[in-house]
Amino acid sequence: MRLSSGFFSLPFALALLLLAAAGCGKSDDKSEGPAEKAGATMGRAIDQAVEKARPTVEKAGEQLKEAGGKLKEEASQAMDKLKERVNKNDEKTADQKQ
């Protein structure tokens, strides 16, 4: 009984297996594929956009803090006025009961 028939033989099969394994292996060089290149480009673009937007965002944050402080002050003044009116109404009601 013959193990190899014609063109297909054990050495040929081993050679094919080695070539296939070598083709599947990762290369030693650090070349990037298209997805890696696109990801790196997008990453750089995002970093640049963030750096460009940073001053605007910081300025907006400061303006929000100022607006919050003004709002707090105005709300406090409104509460004080409301308390004064309630006290005046209480005094009028007390005077009317007497």
Mean pLDDT of 10-39: 73
* Cα 57 to the center of its chain, rounded Å: 15
Show the tokens assigned to 52: 């460009």
Contact 10, 3 (CB under 8 A): yes
Provide the percentage of residues in the chain whose pLDDT is more than 70: 76
The span from the CA of 15 to the CA of 3, in Å, is 17
Q: Is the pTM of this model over 0.95?
A: no
pLDDT at position 62 is 94
Mean pLDDT of 64-93: 92
The span from the CA of 86 to the CA of 35, in Å, is 69
Selected residue with higher pLDDT from 2 and 48: 48
Show the tokens assigned to 51: 């750096």
For the chain, give the mean pLDDT: 82
